[in-house]
Amino acid sequence: MSPVKKRVVRRVPPRRKPTPRERNVFLAVAGNIGSGKSSLTRLLSSRFGWTPYYESVEDNPYLNDFYGEMKRWSFNLQVYFLSNRFRSHKTITEGNHSVVLDRVIYEDAEIFARNLYEIGNMDRRDYENYVALYSVMTEYLHPPDLLIYLRANVNTLLKQISMRGRDFEQSISKEYLEQLNAHYERWIQSYTKGKLLIIESDEMDFVNNIEDLERVTAMIAKELDLPAREGLLR
């Protein structure tokens, strides 16, 4: 009679859930022109040690032409932004490090392209083509772990646009910013892709006031369940 062979069962220990410090974080900052997205992206990158991804502005070949003749260059500009943001978003989601992103791809379609179409600066054919391309591209993207929306009124936006002194932005009208703000509010009210943190930035100066930056940092640490010391300024 053959001896009975015992079956050896190898027990694999369960995969340890990464701690908040170990996991990669994808944070994004959204908001209207002049709301302080790039400044906050830079500050958060420094404070948390995350890699920053900035909006393509200085090397954008269409911006000057667009603000001079929106109807002629709107489609070209939006496709340029869509391509660049898709590339950045894809790199982020495929990477293995924590990042903070200046403006998300969703703003392009939900805010800027939609507004250009509604005010007659992008024709229906181009707009529908753009939205179809956007829809296909975003199917492959993982949304941010936390989206920060910098809410600011038009007077704040105009003041900050004037202070940073970009020549091509000085022709932006109050009416145009009001239209964008209306689209932002509609979009934010229906945002369901992930966690959302709205920061009322009219009375906040996180660039020059360390206490305001500490408040923002603490709110982010709480939303992302980061250890308390992760939220402290370095």
SS3 39: helix
From the list 102, 126, 202, 212, the catalytic residue is: 102
Place of tokens 């062979």: 5
By three-state DSSP, how is residue 44 classified?
A: helix
Closest to 169 measured CA to CA, from 53, 42, 73, 58: 58
65 is an active site residue? no
Other C-beta atoms lying within 10 Å of the C-beta of residue 104: 20
Sign of CA dihedral 74, 75, 78, 80: negative
Question: Which residues, at least 6 apart from 63, have a Cβ–Cβ distance to it below 8 Å?
Answer: 57, 77, 168
**Exposure string (b/e) for 20-48, b if CB count within 10 Å is 16 or more?**
eeeeebbbbbbbbbbbbbbbbbebbbebb
> Is the separation of the CB atoms in 65 and 71 below 8 Å?
no
Q: Catalytic residue positions?
A: 102
